[in-house]
Amino acid sequence: MKYIKNDLVTTLINQKVNYKLKLVKLFLAISILSWGVLGYTTKQWAFFIPSRPACEPEEEEREKKGQQEECRATGPTRGGSIITALIPEIPSYLTDAETEDSPRGQLTYKASPTFWLYTFSPEDKPILLEFKIRDLSSQKIYEKTIRIEQTPIFGIISFALPKDLLELKVNGIYQWQLSIDGQEEKIEGYLQRKPLPSQLNGQLSPEQRIEWYAENGIWYDLLTELAQLRLQDPNNSQLKEQWDTLLEDSDVDLGYLKQQPLLDCCSVSEAN
C-alpha cells in the first residue's frame, strides 16, 4: 500500500472526522508488516465465548432517555447461542447538526451491503435470525428471516442484504435490527449509503480499495473487502495483522473477536 499524502490527512483533520483519520493511521501503521504463517489453530477458538455483555438498558429505556445507541451483542439464549455484530463502538451517527460530511451510522457504497456476525451456537439445529431494516426517511420497515443451516457454529459469518427485500438508496439512512428465533434481545445499528466516487469506477486492486475505504471511513465495505481477502488467503500473515489491528482500534473495540475464525462454511439462506 502507498502512504497517504499529508494534504489528505490535513483535510480530514480540518473536517474533524476523527474516526476516518484513525482508520488512515491504522492502515499506515500496518502497511509495512512482513509476510508469514498464521500461528493459531482451531482448538484455540472452538469453545471461546466473548466476554462482552448483552446491551443494556433495553431499547425502550434508551428511547426514554433520548439515546440512540447501536447495540452489538445479545446475551445467551436458552440454547446458549450468542450473536455479535461486527460494527464499530463509536456512535458516529450521534451528531446534532448533520451534513453530508457528518454521517449517521456506519457507511457503505453498496445497495446491498454485507453484514458480519460473530455467531456462537452449540446446538445442533439451524439458527433462525429475524432481520428488520427501517428506512428513516419513509419509516417503512422491511423484514426477512435468515436461516443458518450448519450448526454447531463458532466463528464469524456473513450475509448480504437480500436484494429482493431492499436496495439502499444513495444517501439513504437506515436502522437495522437482528434477533435470534424471535428472542426479545436484539442487536441493532445504523447505516448510510454514500454515492460511489468516480475513483472507484476504475480498475483498482483489492488492496487499493481497502486503502480508499479506510481513508474515507466506509466501514461495511472495508470490513467485507478485508474479510474476503482473508478467506481467499487464510495463511497470509499480513492480512491477519491488518484484521487484528482493525478490530483492536479503540473506536472499533472488537479486539476480543480477533482470534475468531472467518467461516466460509455455512449456508445462509432466506427462510421466507
pLDDT of the residue at 111: 96
Let me know if residue 1 belongs to a domain: no
pLDDT along the chain (272 residues), means of 10: 34 39 43 26 27 43 46 56 82 44 74 93 86 92 88 89 91 91 82 92 87 91 96 95 93 91 76 62
- Its domain, for residue 34, covers 6-270
User: For strand 82-85 and strand 114-121, is the pairing parallel, antiparallel, or unpaired?
Assistant: antiparallel
Report the pLDDT value the prediction gives residue 79, as an integer from 0 to 100: 52
pLDDT at residue number 73: 61
DSSP state of 135: E
Question: What is the domain count for the chain?
Answer: 1
Q: Considering the entire predicted model, what is its pTM? A: 0.72
Tally the C-alpha atoms within 13 A of residue 75's C-alpha that lie toward its C-beta. Answer: 9
Contact 270/146 with Cβ under 8 angstroms? yes
Torsion of CA 105, 89, 21, 31, to 10 degrees: -120
Q: Check: CB of residue 271 under 8 Å from CB of residue 156.
A: no
Q: What is the pLDDT of residue 248?
A: 93
Q: CA-to-CA distance for 242 and 264, rounded, in angstroms?
A: 19
Report the pLDDT value the prediction gives residue 54, as an integer from 0 to 100: 42
Contacts of 177 (CB under 8 A, 6+ apart): 130, 131, 132, 133, 186, 187, 188
d(CA 58, CA 67): 11
**Residues in contact with 77: Cβ distance below 8 Å, sequence separation at least 6, in sequence order:** 180, 181, 183, 185
Phi, psi of 214, deg, nearest 5: -65, -45
Nearest to 142 by CA among 106, 169, 174, 105: 174
Q: For residue 19, what is its C-alpha cell? A: 474516526
pLDDT of residue 8: 34
The confidence score (pLDDT) of residue 25 equals 44
